Chains A and B, each alone.
Chain A
Amino acid sequence: MFQPEMNLNQTFIRSLACAAVNPGLRSILVLDTPYTELQSTASILTQMLECTTGNKVEQVHLRVSELDDDLWGSLFIDHGSDSQPIVWHRGILANPPNNLQNGEQPLRLVIIPDLAKLSLAAARACVMLVAADVAHLERHGHHAIWQPNMCWLASCSKAEIGAVSPHLLDRFALRLNWPGVASTYSAADLLKEVLNDTFSEDIHRILPPGLKNQLQKAAQCQTTITNEFIGRVLAYMSVAENYFPRREIALARLALSNAKLNEAHYVAANDVDTAASLIGLIPPEEVLPKGRSIDYPNGQEEATDTDLQHTTNHPANEDILASFHEPETLASEISVYEPNYTDTLDLLSLSIDPYPEDNAPINREIASLRLPFFQYAITNPDRGTIIGVERATTLHNIALVSTLFAAAPFQAIRRKNLNIRDNRIILSTSDLRCYLRKFAPHQMLLLLIDYTSLHGSDWQDALSPYLSWAYIERASICIVQVGAAHPTHELRADLIQERSILVPSITTALEEKSGKATPLADGFGLALRTLRHALQHGRHIVHRALFVVVSDGRGNVSLEASHNRHLTKPISREGIEDALKLAQQIGELKHVQTVLLNPQPKYHPDLPLLFAATLKAEVINIANAQAEGVGK
């Protein structure tokens, strides 16, 4: 079977090797990775870790549906035991037994295919465990404290990074961009494999012996940090747009690991530059305005060798800041190894932002890691995805298995006290457990906003009662944007769908400016499909939808032009006619209450009223509306 080439001159491979060498870098986030490639990466990383640690590595996969009991552990039935049928079943992230020869825990590689789609329980578990010094388990009578020995490999699409909490993202020390191509083998090689019947989608890449040897040497290498190295690390982070301490330390660790891979005895400034290029950080000289230099502080101390071969001996609170000498000065006392691999390193990560979350639009609720808030009066609590179990006070929404497991430990005592000799299960009200469910909205607010008709009108005030309603009722919210300033395509409408009004993207959408074209027909088409899906499809259908239209009805893009994304005919009344046809279909839907906020245009003032009649909508006139539309 053909094996793609792997060596330390490849940016991605080198970055993984750094993580294998340094435990502080074993929380890796790879952006925009296809699932099969993530598996392949996990395979490579597993072999690298086994090389550097000398121990077997166990893989653990986190998906979208894990609950706390799956992750941490719970009581379970042991079918093989007669004496104690109910036993503690360790969860996939809980502390493993210390079964290595040196009495330590085995290393586990936790693979997260999509960080943006992780379950709430798993995301909270990651906050507790990723890059943690100490872990605690206190569940169902079980108690444990341990030092986690884990490596984390997660993937996330850059487009969805805004859905992940920055509190969680900050824990991922090493940020990589997926190289984008299946390494160095060609389509011809791939075809040969298919013809020879040796092709497998699950490409298990085997580390070449040379690379293994390099990793083992790097793991043993003693490397001393220099003042120049620290100064260069600080320089990179001092010019960064956002400063977070973990990023600085991660860069330092990456540079140190990079030096070890070169079997260097000292780590210097160029190692920092190489490390920065691995993850896509721009050199500080390119960030600073011309004429400005980097301000290095002055100091007197130099690095000396210690038992750790790492640092000086000064206590923490003295001013130990070492001198940030120019490289020539340092070179006279310590020879610094300057490898020339940078000439051949394929620096694919150059200028690719390793921290896209800093500028990504926020696409998550406020306090996204908290357990969801529940309204006091929920009439139908057995909707929504199960996210846990809690004590029950009624027989509604009972979690049968959890109830039985809660009762199990007390059976021996209860049977003794009640003098019951058979194997009946004796339940008490304190055993009752019900499902904790992610709140599924019963109602939906759908807004269709024609931005080109809003000039000079007080439409946001007119809209606010409906937004308040959505907030109070915990309704899901959709916004169909027609004629926005920054559409996906000028001739098409866009749809934003969120679980609640609290998501920041809703506010952004409401503050959008006006564009030029008005694809109103496409907007109504999008609204119709959204309503039909919400009211008729899936397990969590909404019971009622409130459809609020803010438009003067003057659509100037036909449905055909929207679908073709191309205007073929001069603008005529076709845009309006197409929109009316779709509005009629919306008007025939059940469980939809429609309201039209009339901007009271100066020209064609009857048009909004015609739409309202077609939609069977209540008309609310927008106050202080001005007659002229914009961009028509």
Chain B
Amino acid sequence: MSEDSHIPILPYTSIIGQEQLKLALELAYVAPRIGGVLISGERGTAKSTTVRAFAKMMYNHLPVTIPINATEDRVIGGWKIDELMTGKATPKKGLLEEANDKLLYIDEVNLLDDHIVNIILDVTSTGVLEIQREGKDEQKQIHFTLVGTMNPEEGSLRPQLLDRFGLMVQVTAITDLNLRGKIVQVELNFSLVRDKAMRDWKSIPFFQNSLQQELECKAKIEQARQRRHSVKVPESIVEMCLRLSKEFQAEGHRSDYLLVLAAQAYAAIEELHLVEAKHLARVAPLVLQHRRQRITQLNRILWNEEDDNLLMKIVDHVPT
């Protein structure tokens, strides 16, 4: 049982709306080479809730989390302090190592200490964790899916860090009355569980349905991950990816293969064997919006109707 098993987390399938956000997390899980997801959005839009719920569903525990005030020794790794003081040097894994092959989550990523950001940048770009401190000299191969959430009102990310995120989702508050009513209802129900610290909350009928759906959702995503390599990517789709990168003036070449990877992952989630234009149309905004030249993050609307029209023109398809 993990140390966080007693902390009730709203089931992933109980989260109302935010389909783009959920899709981005699922794509990053199905195709880990995508590298990560940056979730930028207004206050109170379930960004952190969704990430935690997803990690709980897929990994059975909360994501490895770097809080904004983490010290370097906990990020990179060090020694167990109490044993060190008795003269025994017992290593203690850092958070980056604990997140190997899993999800590494940074809440309020734009508030993170610059020094810690530099460490993460170094590891994500080289895939190697170098520990040279406190008498240690080690190199370890590390790979994780980096997920960050932020409110852009509190500042933007350095371009180097922004580039490490394969996908970016812009989250806005849900305004549809139907959905808002559901959100209030779900939140009030879950509050009862959370506030009374119910340890047997999973047996409550209201959540049993959601948890059952969660198991089905998890199985579907796992199968998609297994199946992804067998999903064929036609030459026409590859050409569309290249054209999209060019027309949207994406910086660098990373967007080319990210578009292919993300479309392939999406097709795998849809249980299809061939990537189609509609898959590309769906994932393109996630890949391209933060890679375009002359776009600043303070310009909140990173993807607009004009971009949708250009996308449709290129893929010849209505985005779903």
- Which residues of A line the B interface, CB within 8 A? 22-24, 68, 72, 75, 84, 86, 88, 104, 121, 124-125, 127-128, 133-134, 136-143, 145-147, 165-167, 170, 225, 230-231, 233-234, 237-238, 243-249, 252-253, 256, 296-297, 299, 306-308, 310-313, 315-317, 319-322, 366-371, 390-391, 408-413, 416, 430
Q: Check B44 against A244 for contact (C-beta < 8 Å).
A: yes
- CB of A246 to closest CB in B, whole Å: 4
11 contacts between A and B (CB under 8 A): A68-B69, A84-B86, A86-B85, A136-B65, A142-B81, A146-B7, A245-B45, A246-B44, A310-B188, A320-B182, A366-B155
| Known contacts A311-B206, A371-B113, A410-B84, A243 near B74 by CB under 8 Å | no
Q: Which residue of B lies closest to A225 (CB)?
A: B188
Which residues of the other chain, B, contact A410 by a CB distance below 8 angstroms?
Answer: 84, 134
Which residues of the other chain, B, contact A125 by a CB distance below 8 angstroms?
Answer: 69
B129 within 8 Å of A (CB atoms) = no
B108 within 8 Å of A (CB atoms) = yes
How many A-B residue contacts, CB cutoff 8 Å? Answer: 221
Q: Check A128 against B92 for contact (C-beta < 8 Å).
A: no
B125 within 8 Å of A (CB atoms) = no
- CB of A450 to closest CB in B, whole Å: 34
Residue of A72, A230, A234, A416 contacting most chain B CB atoms (<10 Å): A230
Which residues of the other chain, B, contact A143 by a CB distance below 8 angstroms?
Answer: 74
Which residues of the other chain, A, contact B113 by a CB distance below 8 angstroms?
Answer: 371
Which residues 252-302 of B have a CB within 8 angstroms of A? none
Q: Check A24 against B191 for contact (C-beta < 8 Å).
A: yes
| Known contacts A410-B134, A412-B85, A413-B89, A234 near B79 by CB under 8 Å | no
Which residues of the other chain, A, contact B66 by a CB distance below 8 angstroms?
Answer: 138
Which residues of the other chain, B, contact A166 by a CB distance below 8 angstroms?
Answer: 43, 153
Type the 1/0 row for B92-124, where 1 means its CB is closer than 8 Å to any CB of A. 100100000000000110110111000000000
Q: Check A249 against B78 for contact (C-beta < 8 Å).
A: no
Q: Which residue of A lies closest to B72 (CB)?
A: A391
Q: Check A230 against B43 for contact (C-beta < 8 Å).
A: no
- CB of A283 to closest CB in B, whole Å: 18
Q: Which residue of B lies closest to A74 (CB)?
A: B71
Across chains A and B, which 10 residue pairs bring their CB atoms closest together, nearest first? A367-B155, A246-B44, A412-B87, A138-B74, A141-B81, A245-B44, A23-B195, A138-B70, A170-B43, A321-B178
Of B12-20, B161-169, B304-312, the stretch lying at the interface with chain A is: B12-20
- CB of B320 to closest CB in A, whole Å: 16
- CB of A376 to closest CB in B, whole Å: 13
Q: Check A140 against B68 for contact (C-beta < 8 Å).
A: no
Residue of A23, A233, A316, A319 contacting most chain B CB atoms (<10 Å): A316
Interface band, chain B? 35 or more
Q: Check A316 against B15 for contact (C-beta < 8 Å).
A: yes
Q: Check A167 against B174 for contact (C-beta < 8 Å).
A: no
Q: Check B115 against A390 for contact (C-beta < 8 Å).
A: yes
Q: Check B92 against A412 for contact (C-beta < 8 Å).
A: no
New contact pairs (19) apart from A72-B69, A133-B9, A367-B110, CB-CB < 8 Å: A127-B111, A134-B52, A139-B69, A141-B80, A145-B4, A147-B7, A167-B153, A245-B44, A249-B183, A249-B184, A249-B187, A249-B188, A297-B181, A308-B192, A308-B204, A315-B213, A317-B16, A369-B154, A413-B84
| Known contacts A252-B188, A321-B182, A141 near B173 by CB under 8 Å | no
Which residues of the other chain, B, contact A23 by a CB distance below 8 angstroms?
Answer: 191, 194-195
| Known contacts A238-B177, A306-B206, A311-B206, A136 near B188 by CB under 8 Å | no
Q: Check A138 against B71 for contact (C-beta < 8 Å).
A: yes
B130 within 8 Å of A (CB atoms) = no
Which residues of the other chain, B, contact A369 by a CB distance below 8 angstroms?
Answer: 108, 111, 154-155
Q: Which residue of B lies closest to A246 (CB)?
A: B44
Complex Cα spacing A554 to B4, Å:
71
Complex Cα spacing A243 to B172, Å:
11
- CB of B194 to closest CB in A, whole Å: 7
Q: Which of B42, B111, B151 contacts A124 (CB 8 A)?
A: B111
B3 within 8 Å of A (CB atoms) = yes
Which residues of the other chain, B, contact A307 by a CB distance below 8 angstroms?
Answer: 204-206
| Known contacts A137-B67, A306-B206, A315-B213, A409 near B85 by CB under 8 Å | yes
Q: Check A139 against B42 for contact (C-beta < 8 Å).
A: no
Residue of B62, B72, B74 contacting most chain A CB atoms (<10 Å): B74
Which residues of the other chain, A, contact B178 by a CB distance below 8 angstroms?
Answer: 297, 299, 319, 321
- CB of A402 to closest CB in B, whole Å: 11
Q: Which residue of A lies closest to B75 (CB)?
A: A138
